[in-house]
Each structure stands twice: as structure tokens, then as C-alpha cells.
Amino acid sequence: MLTCTVYTVFTLSHKAFDVLAHFRWLALRRVSFEPLHLVVGRSFFCIFTKKHMLLQTLEQEVDNTRKCLRDILQKVTHFKLAADSRKMDILRLFVLRRAWRHGNFMTDS
């Protein structure tokens, strides 16, 4: 079972940069991200795994990144919210979950 921890940063744009900076700092120090971590903002998502750190703006249509992201997400069986994501936009998460709810994907609250 692979769990994806979702960090949502819809409320404050500067918080998004803080979160991304933190994960980049960890990635530079070769910290393994187990389970997988996904940071979702208003106009971007950033995904971190043991081998990948992908930053993608939602407006972009980059086939290679989308294929890599799809390959990673196919291994995810559960999604859960990070503890510090209480102020998230519930509607956006619902849309996000619905978009990924195919195949064997399941979501946790």
C-alpha cells in the first residue's frame, strides 16, 4: 500500500513557496519521501517521491511530466491530508479527488 500525503496551500500564496522551499531543501539533502508527498496550490502542483521531484503548473501541458506523474500516481492506493492542511479549500480537494478516482485509487479523509 502506498499512501500519498496531500499538502494543500490554496489559502496563502506565500505559504506555498514556504512549503515548496522546505521540500526542495529536503530533496537536496537526498531525504527519501516515503510515503509520497504531493503539494497542491492554486496554479501548480509539486510531487515528491524517493526518485522524483516534479514541479508542474496546472496551465502547462508537458507530456513527459504528465506521463511520469501518471505512472507515479498509479501506484498510490490511499490519499490522506497532511495535519497542517485544515484550512484547505474543501471544494478544490473534492475536485482533485474526483479527478483521481479511477482504477483502484481510494481516498482517505
- Express each pLDDT in 39-82 by its tens digit: 665 555 566 655 555 554 444 444 555 565 566 666 666 656 65
pLDDT at 106: 36
C-alpha–C-alpha distance, residues 82 and 74, integer Å:
20
Q: Is residue 25 scored above 60 in pLDDT?
A: yes
SS3 76: coil
Length of the chain: 109
Q: Please say whether the beta carbons of 49 and 72 come within 8 A.
A: yes
SS3 32: coil
Provide the CA 30 distance to its chain's centre, in angstroms. 18
The pTM assigned to this predicted structure is: 0.36
